[in-house]
Chains A and B, each alone.
Chain A
Amino acid sequence: QKEVEQNSGPLSVPEGAIASLNCTYSDRGSQSFFWYRQYSGKSPELIMFIYSNGDKEDGRFTAQLNKASQYVSLLIRDSQPSDSATYLCAVNIGKLIFGQGTELSVKP
């Protein structure tokens, strides 16, 4: 089992819809969790981090963490074509371990 797993997609949603991106991890000792966005041909950039169980909101983005289920998700409300990118989940186990990324496509 990979330490951090994501559905590779592609995930396609219509403009204005909610995009839901999911990530599971295997190390119960993980303390912090990160979502990076990577546009095609570009480098990853941090968009959200979460440390505590529950939800964390930042604009149109909401990160959700459930440590008991070892599950972290990213919701993007009112999705825009400019949100089309690959989203990488990363987990801190003393160093960052990344999932394989989920490609999101938002159709106008």
Chain B
Amino acid sequence: DADVTQTPRNRITKTGKRIMLECSQTKGHDRMYWYRQDPGLGLRLIYYSFDVKDINKGEISDGYSVSRQAQAKFSLSLESAIPNQTALYFCATSDWDNSYEQYFGPGTRLTVT
């Protein structure tokens, strides 16, 4: 089984809908991250969490919110989806003592019409 899983893997939704992307990990890592990837723009950090009670905004948090339900679970929500949120979303994890070796989930391809 994969160490970092994301659900759903693909999602098409309409403008204005609320959508949640979920991430689970079995690596036992404390730190979790949400990124989005757009062609030509690389990976951009949306939110990150260093433990269950710690949530931090990244480069592009507007229009997104997150919830860290447990050490192993980190969810990303789009409260009212808009077309420019169409992207590939990755969850990643890292250990507290090697924070920058990040392990990525398989990604969720989100399309907002």
Contacts and interface: CB of A to CB of B under 8 A. Distances in A.
Interface string A68-108: 00000000000000000000101010011111110000000
Interface of A is mostly: strand
Interface residues of A, number: 21
A34 interface: yes
A45 B90 CA distance: 12
B42 A96 contact: no
B78 interface: no
A1 interface: no
B45 A96 contact: yes
Contacts of A17: none
B102 A100 contact: no
A44 interface: yes
Interface in A24-78: 32, 34, 42-46, 49
Contacts of A101: 42
Contacts of B44: 98
Contacts of A8: 40
Nearest to B2: A43
A45 B106 CA distance: 11
Interface in B13-63: 35, 40-45, 48, 58-59
A43 B100 contact: no
A97 B100 contact: no
A99 B42 contact: yes
B41 A100 contact: yes
Interface of A: 4, 6, 8, 32, 34, 42-46, 49, 88, 90, 92, 95-101
Interface of B: 35, 40-45, 48, 58-59, 90, 99-102, 104-107
5 contacts: A4-B42, A42-B106, A43-B104, A90-B100, A100-B41
